[in-house]
């Protein structure tokens, strides 16, 4: 079989790069001059809209960590952190971030500021609490632990929503004290409006992957779009970016251009990617012309393809609802099963790839049960892989390739007749 | 362990050592036969036992399966890099050993435990499986009100397994029973700290852990008896080093490991074993609104651990205070393999202990371990280094 690589380079890639560089420039400016104010936050269920009300810039340790991994620079800071006492089995995102801080490594040329506030938006990931406690302790930065009740019922209760809203208002007070700036409610509303628009655009893009062939890979390409989604969601630049992205994708659909000239397999991928081997991993799927038509990882920041949006009429409640119910990490495990089930059915996928990530127990603890459910209860072909999102030492390339090959060979065997018909 | 207790007390310890290892839960079966009511297993820290007991049900602490069970199914459900207690608890379920529990209660202590809750829910749809969100932000003015509503939700859920909605009076009675339980445990701990030659930690551990499986009133009687006997126990102080154990708040080390540390020449003057029944540091007030009292007590009177977050009281500072308070000479960080919260805390504990000049040793364990030679060697070397320093 000839080596296939899946990749397209459109306007969105160029624009994404510009936006992310600009973000790092602003962080560098904050590090040098103390302005604009910054807040460290967790990607998942972030409340970036609130920061807009202060003209503050988000700082996402996760993005810093994954940038280092994707550039093959994560091992050094991981080892530095392990020397400090972090265990082999601690989340490697945390180790890379802490190690990089201690060593003064940054993903861009500039500096990263000590955040004006370490705002731990806890949405399901207990590791985040530890991470942010450590960041605050090591950097001497103030910490606010924004506790979001885990979604243990179908929908959040009134008590859940009120609890989060009250804390958001405490964050506002805290940021007013720290920054000396008055919270701008109009700007906050405008931010929520931008988010709502971006969510609409992003959701439309995701639904385009229902097309055969899919115009993009909803796992690997979605990650390109996720940077601007988290940093710029609540800004006009974010809206502009996603307008460009939607247009580009719609044009591809109109021209019936898929990720591959002939898409062969459609899969759903669960779990974060192995960033240190991102390209290698992607190529393992490309070899089989297998396109991810949906992924849970792309809903870490927000789950909008089933209709949820920030409601500008109730900005605080909208942010609370987003944190409580509209991101995959704060939703319970069985809700994730249901999300995947819908992806497989509605996005017309043939199989499910479960990527167990050693660092992330939130994603991975219990994924064997998930496999049991999809294979035995639903009869969906499932492949279970193990590696890590940040630590290059846990990627067994040959073994991973063999498992992926075996999975698609088997799938090919099962669907050969139907695929031939589709190809005609 | 160098103490000379009466034969009756020795037999009590032996009996409890058997009870805590018995995966057939004989005391729970007996209680269910007598009362014809439901038992609710909780996993394994910060569960509001009073709410379960006041509803007329039996709360039972689930602490995995120790070394009593080979994994047949749970390994493939939870995969590598996940702690043992999560897997053995699931294994107990998948092999029918949790059939006598009508309900299972989990909380927001860590990511693996949380996911276990939903795996249990899927595999045991006939059971009442509930997840409590315990606030991570005790500094917020809104946390008590939220937790009160969460406790209210649990009470409503317990009705599904025959729980009677308790009156305030019933709740206060239950709080009083558990206050007595915790007060007796605190007194036993104080005795062990002050006169460790009279009460060994392995014995103390056994009798406290038995409380996971016994009705609280029965456990109170047992504790009172042990307290009386231990205060009179003979025994001479040894030239042991005084050590605080930290990090075993959830998965429990094998009893043999605790004995090994003691035999190596350590008086364990404080520990975080079996926090389930003893997680309030002082009495819960018997006020007009017992639900609020319980909620506020989680926020303000709960023992610290790696799975409870309180920015007002950093855990690494609390550990140093614990060492000073108990006049300990060293700390053994006894951490369950793959326990990520404990691994994280180790970094700041280590930093703080080193800054304070307190010697420390990291020991990793699994509830299911059979060879102890290496650990014995490590602990003995550590003790010797302190004795002959």
Residue A83 sits in a domain whose CATH number is: 3.40.50.11890
| A298 CB-near residues (< 8 Å, 6+ apart) | A206, A218, A219, A222, A223, A226
A177 with A245, same domain: the answer is: no
Does residue A19 belong to any structural domain of this protein? no
Indicate if the pLDDT at residue A411 is higher than 80: yes
Query: Whose CA is closest to A36, among A228, A227, A235, A202?
Result: A235
Query: Whose CA is closest to A39, among A107, A132, A103?
Result: A132
DSSP summary character for residue B244: E
Of A94, A145, A157, Cβ closest to residue B137: A145
Q: Rounded CA gap, A238 and A241, in Å?
A: 5
Does residue A10 belong to any structural domain of this protein? no
Please give the pLDDT value at position B233: 86
DSSP collapsed to 3 states, B269-319: EECCCCCHHHCECCCCCCCCCHHHHHHHHHHHCECCCCCCCCCCCCHHHHH
Does residue A225 belong to any structural domain of this protein? yes
Does residue A22 belong to any structural domain of this protein? no
| B269 CB-near residues (< 8 Å, 6+ apart) | B192, B193, B196, B242, B243, B244, B326, B327, B328
Query: Whose CA is closest to B354, among A80, A138, A85, A95?
Result: A85
CB–CB of B56/B164 below 8 Å?
yes
DSSP summary character for residue B100: T
Q: What is the mean pLDDT of residues B200-209?
A: 96
Q: Rounded CA gap, B63 and A397, in Å?
A: 38
Put simply, the chain B residues between 129 and 148 with a CB less than 8 A from any chain A CB are 130-133, 135-137, 139-143, 145-146
A38 with A148, same domain: the answer is: yes
A264 with A389, same domain: the answer is: yes
A175 with A68, same domain: the answer is: yes
Please give the pLDDT value at position B128: 98
Question: What are residue B266's phi and psi, to 5 degrees?
Answer: -110, 135
Maximum Cα–Cα distance for chain B, whole Å? 61
Please give the pLDDT value at position B231: 87
Please give the pLDDT value at position B372: 94
Of B79, B136, B350, Cβ closest to residue A368: B79
Q: Do A368 and B76 touch (CB under 8 A)?
A: yes
pLDDT band at A277 (very low <50, low <70, confident <90, very high): very high
Indicate if the pLDDT at residue A282 is higher than 70: yes
Q: Tell me which chain A residue has its CA closest to the CA of residue B77.
A: A368
Query: Whose CA is closest to B330, among B371, B260, B381, B273?
Result: B381
Q: What is the mean pLDDT of residues A318-333?
A: 98
A312 with A391, same domain: the answer is: yes
Q: Rounded CA gap, B41 and B372, in Å?
A: 30
Please give the pLDDT value at position A6: 63
- Count of domains forming chain A: 2
Does residue A135 belong to any structural domain of this protein? yes
Q: What is the mean pLDDT of residues A161-183?
A: 98
pLDDT band at B235 (very low <50, low <70, confident <90, very high): confident
Q: CB distance from B343 to chain A under 8 Å? A: yes
Q: What is the mean pLDDT of residues A35-62?
A: 97
Please give the pLDDT value at position A111: 93
DSSP strand E in chain B: where?
A: 39-42, 58-61, 103-107, 128-132, 241-246, 266-270, 330-336, 360-365
Please give, rounded to a whole number of angstroms, the shortest distance from the CA of B340 to a CA of chain A.
Answer: 6
Question: What are residue A140's phi and psi, to 5 degrees?
Answer: 65, 35
Q: Tell me which chain A residue has its CA closest to the CA of residue B144.
A: A163
Indicate if the pLDDT at residue B8 is higher than 80: no
Does residue A153 belong to any structural domain of this protein? yes
Q: Rounded CA gap, B198 and B227, in Å?
A: 10
Q: Do B346 and A87 touch (CB under 8 A)?
A: yes
Please give the pLDDT value at position A109: 83
Q: For chain B, what percent of residues have pLDDT higher than 70?
A: 98
Does residue A414 belong to any structural domain of this protein? yes
User: Residue B149: its chain A contacts at CB < 8 A?
Assistant: 157, 159
Please give the pLDDT value at position A11: 87
Task: Of A6-15, B55-64, B67-76, B342-351, give the lowest mean pLDDT range.
Answer: A6-15
User: Residue A87: its chain B contacts at CB < 8 A?
Assistant: 343, 346
Q: Do A362 and B115 touch (CB under 8 A)?
A: yes
User: Residue B125: its chain A contacts at CB < 8 A?
Assistant: none
ipTM above 0.90, yes or no: yes
| A207 CB-near residues (< 8 Å, 6+ apart) | A305
Which site among B137, B139, B313, B317 would you substitute to test the A interface, given the most A Cβ atoms closer than 10 Å to its Cβ?
A: B137
pLDDT band at B3 (very low <50, low <70, confident <90, very high): low
| Residue A361 in tokens | 């127990």
| Structural domain boundaries enclosing A173 | 27-187
Strand partners, B330: B243
User: Residue B133: its chain A contacts at CB < 8 A?
Assistant: 149-150, 152
Q: What is the mean pLDDT of residues B318-326?
A: 98
Please give the pLDDT value at position A261: 84
pLDDT band at A80 (very low <50, low <70, confident <90, very high): very high
What are the strands of the beta sheet with A143-147, ordered from one edge?
A: A57-59, A38-40, A117-122, A143-147
| Residue B141 in tokens | 């003015």
Does residue A114 belong to any structural domain of this protein? yes
A139 with A275, same domain: the answer is: no
The mean pLDDT of chain A is 95
Of B75, B337, B344, Cβ closest to residue A90: B344
| Residue B326 in tokens | 């108990």
Q: CB distance from B294 to chain A under 8 Å? A: no
A169 with A249, same domain: the answer is: no
Please give the pLDDT value at position B48: 97
Which site among B104, B124, B140 would you substitute to test the A interface, given the most A Cβ atoms closer than 10 Å to its Cβ?
A: B140
Q: Rounded CA gap, B90 and B67, in Å?
A: 14
Q: Do A94 and B344 touch (CB under 8 A)?
A: yes
The mean pLDDT of chain B is 95
What are the strands of the beta sheet with A290-295, ordered from one edge?
A: A290-295, A265-270, A351-357, A382-387
Indicate if the pLDDT at residue B234 is higher than 90: no
Please give the pLDDT value at position A419: 62
Q: What global pTM score does this model have?
A: 0.96
Cis peptide before A242 (omega within 30 of 0): no
Indicate if the pLDDT at residue A13 is higher than 80: yes
Q: Rounded CA gap, A227 and B387, in Å?
A: 56
Please give the pLDDT value at position B123: 98
- The string of pLDDT tens digits covering residues B150-190 is 999 999 999 999 999 999 999 999 999 999 999 999 999 99
A371 with A410, same domain: the answer is: yes
User: Residue A356: its chain B contacts at CB < 8 A?
Assistant: 79-80
Terminal alpha carbon distance of chain B: 25
Please give the pLDDT value at position A414: 86
- The string of pLDDT tens digits covering residues B53-102 is 999 999 999 989 999 999 999 999 998 899 999 999 999 999 999 999 99
- The string of pLDDT tens digits covering residues B11-37 is 889 999 999 999 999 999 999 999 999
A262 with A406, same domain: the answer is: yes
Indicate if the pLDDT at residue B364 is higher than 90: yes
Of A125, A134, A160, Cβ closest to residue B111: A125
Q: What is the mean pLDDT of residues A311-320?
A: 97
Q: Do B343 and A89 touch (CB under 8 A)?
A: yes
Dihedral Cα B52, B53, B54, B56, nearest 10 deg: 100
Indicate if the pLDDT at residue B5 is higher than 70: no
A235 with A137, same domain: the answer is: no
A176 with A293, same domain: the answer is: no
Please give the pLDDT value at position A2: 47
Residue A371 sits in a domain whose CATH number is: 3.40.50.11900
Indicate if the pLDDT at residue A3 is higher than 60: no
Collapsing DSSP to helix, strand or coil, B74 comes out as helix
Q: Do B112 and A373 touch (CB under 8 A)?
A: no
Please give the pLDDT value at position B2: 46
**Cα–Cα distances in Å, from A285 out to A7, A45, A289, A381, A414?**
12, 29, 6, 16, 18
A221 with A183, same domain: the answer is: no
**Cα–Cα distances in Å, from A291 out to A25, A202, A251, A288?**
34, 18, 19, 9
């Amino acid at each position: 079989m000839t080596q296939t690589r899946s990749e397209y380079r459109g306007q969105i890639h160029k624009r994404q790069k510009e936006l992310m560089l600009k973000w790092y420039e602003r962080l560098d400016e904050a590090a040098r001059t103390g302005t604009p104010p910054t807040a460290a936050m967790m990607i998942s269920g972030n409340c970036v809209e609130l920061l807009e009300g202060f003209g503050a810039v988000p700082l996402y340790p996760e993005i810093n960590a994954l940038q280092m991994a994707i550039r093959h620079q994560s091992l050094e800071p991981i080892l530095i952190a392990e020397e400090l006492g972090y265990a082999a089995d601690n989340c490697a995102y945390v180790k890379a971030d802490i190690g990089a801080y201690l060593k003064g490594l940054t993903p861009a040329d500039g500096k990263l500021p000590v955040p004006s506030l370490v705002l731990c938006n806890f949405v399901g990931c207990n590791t985040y609490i530890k991470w942010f406690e450590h960041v605050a302790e090591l950097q001497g930065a103030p910490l606010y632990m924004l506790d979001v009740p885990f979604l243990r019922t179908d929908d959040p209760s009134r008590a859940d929503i009120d609890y989060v809203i009250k804390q958001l208002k405490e964050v506002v007070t805290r940021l007013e004290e720290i920054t000396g700036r008055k919270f701008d409610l109009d700007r906050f509303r405008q931010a929520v409006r931008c988010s709502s628009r971006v969510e609409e655009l992003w959701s439309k893009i995701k639904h385009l992957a229902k097309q055969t062939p899919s115009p993009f890979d909803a796992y690997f390409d979605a990650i390109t779009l996720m940077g601007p989604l988290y940093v710029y969601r609540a800004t006009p630049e974010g809206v502009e970016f996603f307008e460009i992205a939607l247009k580009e994708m719609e044009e591809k659909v109109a021209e019936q251009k898929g990720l591959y000239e002939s898409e062969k397999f459609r899969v759903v991928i669960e779990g974060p990617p192995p960033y240190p081997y991102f390209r290698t991993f992607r190529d393992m799927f490309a070899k089989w012309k297998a396109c991810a038509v949906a992924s849970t990882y792309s809903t870490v920041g927000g789950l909008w393809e089933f209709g949820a949006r920030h409601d500008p009429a109730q900005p605080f409640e909208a942010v609370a609802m987003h944190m409580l119910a509209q991101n995959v990490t704060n939703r319970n495990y069985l809700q994730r099963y249901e999300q995947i089930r819908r992806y497989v059915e509605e996005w017309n996928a043939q199989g499910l790839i479960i990527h167990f990530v050693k660092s992330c127990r939130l994603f991975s603890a219990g994924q064997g049960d998930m496999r049991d459910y999809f294979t035995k209860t639903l009869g969906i072909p499932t492949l279970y892989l193990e590696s890590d999102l940040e630590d290059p030492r846990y990627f067994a390339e040959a073994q991973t390739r063999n498992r992926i090959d075996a999975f698609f060979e088997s799938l090919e065997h099962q669907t050969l007749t139907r695929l031939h018909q589709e190809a005609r | 362990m160098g103490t000379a207790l009466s034969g009756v007390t020795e037999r009590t310890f032996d009996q409890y050592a058997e009870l805590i290892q018995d995966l057939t839960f004989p005391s729970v079966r007996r209680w269910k036969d007598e009362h014809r009511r439901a038992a609710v297993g909780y996993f394994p820290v910060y569960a509001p036992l009073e709410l379960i007991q006041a509803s007329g049900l039996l709360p039972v602490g689930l602490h995995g399966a120790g070394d009593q069970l080979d994994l047949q199914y749970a390994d493939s459900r939870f995969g590598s890099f996940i702690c043992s207690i999560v897997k053995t608890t699931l294994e107990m379920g998948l092999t029918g050993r949790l059939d006598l529990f009508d309900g299972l209660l989990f909380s927001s202590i860590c990511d693996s435990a949380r996911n276990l809750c939903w795996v249990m829910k899927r595999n045991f749809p006939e059971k009442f499986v509930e997840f409590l969100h315990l606030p991570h932000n005790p500094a917020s003015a809104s946390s008590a009100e939220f937790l009160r509503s969460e406790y209210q939700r649990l009470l409503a859920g317990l009705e599904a397994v025959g729980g009677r909605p308790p009156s305030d009076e019933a709740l206060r009675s239950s709080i009083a029973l558990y206050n007595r339980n915790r007060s007796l445990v605190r007194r036993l701990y104080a005795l062990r700290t002050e006169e460790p030659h009279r009460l060994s930690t392995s014995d103390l551990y056994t009798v406290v852990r038995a409380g996971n499986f016994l009705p609280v009133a029965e456990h109170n009687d047992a504790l009172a008896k042990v307290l009386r006997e231990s205060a009179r126990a003979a025994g001479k102080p040894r030239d042991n080093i005084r050590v605080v154990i930290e990090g075993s708040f959830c998965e429990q080390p094998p009893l043999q490991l605790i004995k090994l540390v003691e035999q190596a020449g350590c008086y364990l003057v404080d520990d975080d074993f079996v926090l389930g029944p003893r997680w309030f540091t002082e009495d819960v007030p018997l006020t007009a609104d017992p639900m609020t009292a319980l909620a506020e007590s989680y926020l303000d009177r709960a023992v610290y651990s790696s799975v409870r977050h309180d920015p007002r009281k950093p855990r690494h500072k609390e550990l140093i205070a614990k060492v000073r308070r108990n006049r300990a000479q060293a700390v053994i960080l006894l951490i369950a393999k793959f326990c990520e919260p404990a691994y994280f805390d180790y970094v700041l504990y280590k930093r703080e202990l080193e800054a304070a000049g307190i010697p420390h040793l990291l020991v990793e364990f699994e509830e299911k371990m059979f060879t102890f030679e290496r650990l014995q060697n490590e602990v003995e070397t550590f003790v010797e280094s302190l004795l002959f320093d």
